Chains A and B, each alone.
Chain A
Amino acid sequence: MRIWGSKLLLAAATAIVLTGTAMTTGVALAQETLNIRLGARDIGSLDPALTKTGDDETVALQVFNSLVAPPRGTLDLALENLQPQLAERWEISEDRTEWTFYLRPGVKWHKGYGEVSAEDVKFSYERQMDPALGGVHGASFKDIASIEVIDPLTVKFKLHSPNAFFHGQALTPGFGRFIVPKKAVEELGDQFGFAPVGSGPFEFAEYRPQDRVVLKAFDDYFLGRPPMDELHLRYIPDNNAGTIAFIAGELDTTGGDRTPEWVASIEAAVPDAQIITLQPGSLQFLHFNMNVEPLDDVRVRQAIAYAIDQSVWSEVFGVLSGPLPSIVPATFFGALQPEDTPEDLRYEYNPERAKELLAESGYPDGFSMDVIISERDDYLTNMLMVQDMLRQVGINLNLQVQDHASYHANIRENKGTIVELSTAIAPGAPAVINEFLSEAAAVGKPSALRNFSHYGEVGGNVDDLVTQAVAETDTEKQMELLREAQLQILRDMPVYPLQTAPLLSVMQGDIDLGYEPVGGFGQHEFATARRVSE
């Protein structure tokens, strides 16, 4: 071999060895670090008033606190079970129009911004009640007439009218209900969304765009310094990449494809991985636009309900599907329980009954209908299954698949007929009914929320029942009113409750969160998380 050839080979070999020995993970980690995957590409905003995605909420949950909270890992919003957070105790007036909170003294803000005060609480809510802020959570606070600072550690909310469910709507963690430091928000302006300051167990340390947010343990956290030194919340939008990183041990927790096959692949690759499903997860409904024939006929809507076999979803998706017998999941505050639902309102699969109802309403041979639907996996899969089931009773759905953004724009312009929606919502019957079935929430109105069926305008109305329930101070009477509203909704069938899609995540086997996650919106809190040795 010629000399220059052997020298070249030697150089190449040396380069390979040196390169190999220089390989590190590339990021210096603190002693105890948790690597948490976020599915977004990047930050939307970490300002609690401006969060838009579940991933933003995951970060916010580690950095901020609310006034009160449900028992950890649950969606239990019974008043008697509320847990103190920034508020150590509270008083609620007999008529439920005045809610007074006494703050814990000495709770520190991160970064030396002093201590949490009543003024901060007032500021946190009032800024969101101004539509100019551009946040989406302000609608939850529409019942607030005024917020009064009684003294530096006492704040009183006065409501326009009695609301026994105000705590679930406006005071528990997430979706704009965190308390922020007035001084920091005013100083940092827009930058607060990229470098938040809170009172929570972890404080903001670093943001690397499209890579990660780094949070470090807050030594002065009022409930005790977290065991973990750092959280690295990493933006990894691709499920495959996240899965490989989890298998390699580079991630401690990740979500993935919501399929039984993905769960099986994780169990095979990482036998001691914890598979966590949070109920109810996303609620998936079919709204019937009652301004469109023949959906304006209750018999047609009931026929569709009888033609859909809900049990197929649990057969196909297993743990990734949950029952939804009524529009309000059974675990929500004020929900109608399955055992309280009369037989004729359970709409158990009965294609013969469906055909009878269609014949009675003048469609003995069925009918055809154009239906727009999002291309997103969960939307399209559900609708394809529904399409097949309805075809068996003569109802032909001509599906027009659209990209997700266009779909949501179009259904808000009232272009939907059978409108599928997959969403999360505050865990209470009043919130669900007001959002999807109140007259004021009908699309097309200035006050529109997500009432795609136009229930309340046409086909029935339960607004009065819900208003009475919200104002009712006797818990039993309140539950009775809410039950009656839900029974009426089942009779009128403006919305077919399809299923819940529990939120799925996996966690390395050596992580102990310090509590049992049973219900929630997919965000784990890591204040008491630790690695346990085998």
Chain B
Amino acid sequence: MLRFVLKRSADAILTAFLVFSFVFFAMRLLPGDPVIAMLGDQASAETIENVRRSLGLDKPIFVQYGEFLWGLLNFDLGTSLINRAAVTETMMRNLPYTIALTIASTIIGVLVGIPLGVLSAMKAGKAADHVTRLTSFFGSALPDFYLGVLFLLLFGLTLRWFPLLGGGENAFDLRYLAMPALTLGLLKGFGMMRLTRTAVLDVSGRDYVRTAEALGMTRQNVIWRHIFRNALLPVTTHLSLSTIATLGGTIAIELVFNRPGVGQLLVGAVTSRDYTLIQGGIVILSVLVVAINFLTDLLYAVIDPRVRTA
């Protein structure tokens, strides 16, 4: 197990380093001048050059890369080119909101998707199966921003159950988290429902399940001890990918509900060519993604002993 952990750790560090470097160079290949984006279109050529020099953007690219790596080693992600705020501070302020949304929506997705998926599989071909599958197909076709606006209009504007916009007093303020989490959570649940159904049906047909049933085990025991645990592996993969996607892909929900988060922050940074904020943001997200993948690998090892010895 130790060897497994060490190997995965080394892979994680190398992956993270490659991602940081790729982002650094990719940003500088993007068309558009960050200084013009920063100063707006009324700046004179002289001002633009002065600011470019003061930010070190006139230095050779490998000098800038060296300074970037040195900053990383000192846990200094620099300051935003646009408003000169410290990147670490800006990210640490926004990240909790994205993490809160990710956790809440994942919980909702799991609570909705897995039981419905199991139910649908166990009642395959019957009315319950048809209804859940149709709901899932229909729900999955809805874009997240569209569902979000519907919820905003219904629960926020019409029923006044929740405040309309904002992040609340903190990232886990349930009053402001509820609608965004419900929006994303339902969409996750629809996807998870179909995957769980497929996985359960697949495992249900295996010979060891038939053996367990033949040996007189109760239906409940067969489902929870044999079918569910084995169906968990693909569901865990999906959960991991879905969580990673949510971490970086919440911009539409953040815009609809005007909620702080990493999605809005990074999209705004790309639009305004805020190199340091983009770099810093990707560094932090990369570390999180690598950590999630690492944890997922460990979870596999826990669920399936065969993985530990492979």
Q: State in angstroms the CA–CA spacing of A138 and B258 once bound together.
A: 35
B83, B168, B175, B265 — most chain A CB neighbours (10 Å): B83
B36 touches A412 (CB 8 A): yes
A238 touches B256 (CB 8 A): yes
CB neighbours (8 Å) of A449 from chain B are 44-45
CB neighbours (8 Å) of B113 from chain A are none
CB neighbours (8 Å) of B169 from chain A are 26
B83 touches A42 (CB 8 A): yes
Tell me the nearest residue of chain B to A422, going by C-beta. B41
Question: Known: A237-B255, A446-B45, A449-B44. Contact between A244 and B32, CB under 8 A?
Answer: no
Q: Which of A158-166, A320-328, A342-350, A399-407 contacts B (4 or more CB under 8 A)?
A: A399-407
A25 in contact (CB, < 8 A)? yes
B38 touches A248 (CB 8 A): no
A244 touches B163 (CB 8 A): no
Question: Known: A237-B264, A247-B157. Contact between A406 and B32, CB under 8 A?
Answer: yes
B165 touches A241 (CB 8 A): yes
From residue 80 to 94 of chain A, which have CB atoms closer than 8 A to chain B?
none
CB neighbours (8 Å) of B273 from chain A are 405
A409 in contact (CB, < 8 A)? yes
Q: Range of interface residues on chain A?
A: 35 or more
B175 touches A241 (CB 8 A): no
CB neighbours (8 Å) of B122 from chain A are none
B272 touches A405 (CB 8 A): yes
Tell me the interface secondary structure of chain A in the complex.
loop
B164 touches A248 (CB 8 A): yes
Q: State in angstroms the CA–CA spacing of A405 and B47 once bound together.
A: 17
Q: State in angstroms the CA–CA spacing of A53 and B43 once bound together.
A: 12
From residue 126 to 184 of chain B, which have CB atoms closer than 8 A to chain A?
149, 152-153, 156-157, 160-169, 173-176, 178
B271 touches A134 (CB 8 A): no
The 0/1 profile, CB within 8 Å of B marked 1, for residues 237-255 of chain A is 1101100110110100000
B94 in contact (CB, < 8 A)? yes
The 0/1 profile, CB within 8 Å of B marked 1, for residues 406-439 of chain A is 1011101000000001010000000000000000
CB neighbours (8 Å) of A235 from chain B are 258
Within the complex, which residue of B30, B82, B156 is in contact with A244, where a contact is CB–CB below 8 Å? B156
Q: State in angstroms the CA–CA spacing of A410 and B149 once bound together.
A: 37
B50 in contact (CB, < 8 A)? yes
Minimum distance in angstroms from A457 CB to a CB of chain B:
15
| 6 pairs of A and B residues whose beta carbons are closest in the complex | A405-B32, A448-B45, A409-B33, A406-B31, A406-B32, A238-B255
**4 new A-B contacts at CB < 8 Å, known A210-B93, A248-B157:** A244-B156, A244-B165, A406-B30, A408-B37
Query: Can you list 12 residue pairs at the A/B interface with Cβ under 8 Å?
Result: A20-B161, A23-B162, A44-B83, A210-B264, A237-B258, A240-B256, A241-B256, A247-B157, A404-B271, A409-B36, A448-B44, A448-B45
